[in-house]
Chain A
């Protein structure tokens, strides 16, 4: 499997470089059910390889990272969750907008007590839920804070930040915070906060990656998402095709299965030569194998059609195979290795 990105792109292999050398903030989005959190975690592990420090953050309050790494629910605090194979550390943070707002009030206004009084009144809940854009400014603001932390001293706290972001359908609006709060604040701290967030998000230091499956609806959402991101002048990164089946038969075999021209006698001769247990009837086995091959070929053909639609976008594409054993830590490491091999880092 080779990604469709330009052949001229240098393949970094084990060394650093890859497709996003300048990017510090990797935003990972995708339609629900496409494995966005898993891919974000694998991306973080890949970025951490070679002794780097990476922060993996989630913003939707569902503790997906904790479930993935099989740890207790994450507090609003950066915690080490995984170590990359050749050194390097992945820290994780579940950003809670209420906690972020209280932190913000304390940091800029020294209003800790007022903050807790406001919370009792429901004002914090209010500000983080309905005041247009405030919630998103807080969540993205936390990511930008992590990007900038230590930069001035020449020692950034993290080499990269990976955000497990809201789904594709909402990602452009989520990131486009300054236009979101435009109706709310023309001046004042929210405005300046959103401007400084926007400055980083629109810069080459950010890339928005979209996770998809090679199925009609997720691909359509991905294409729509790319268009929306472009329209909002947000930096589109890679498309990551997750849970790829990929052809398990030769191109000839796939074509024959698709056209209904598989040779029964040939398959059966193979079955007879394969040394299967005697209790299995070669004819039955051959029929089952052919039916399965046909279904597989139909699936591959669909993937091919959807893949062609993605290729037309000219974004780099990485492919993650379906993990037939399910997702565990081992699968995450395997996926992070594949991302490195395909030039993602």
Chain B
């Protein structure tokens, strides 16, 4: 599931839970899912392994030809 879908699902869940007329069991299930989604989203935003490349050229298919880049301190 991509980031946007996760976010939309998370918002759905919050809305559902706020509507309030859920059985306890169901709301617990949603709660768990919501926590998991928010964690996933956050990971995607902050903890993903960031790939920084320096461009050497661009292939005919639009794919960049690169190598890893680290900025000199």
Q: Do A and B come from one complex?
A: no
The interface of chain B, by Cβ under 8 A from chain A, is: none
The interface of chain A, by Cβ under 8 A from chain B, is: none
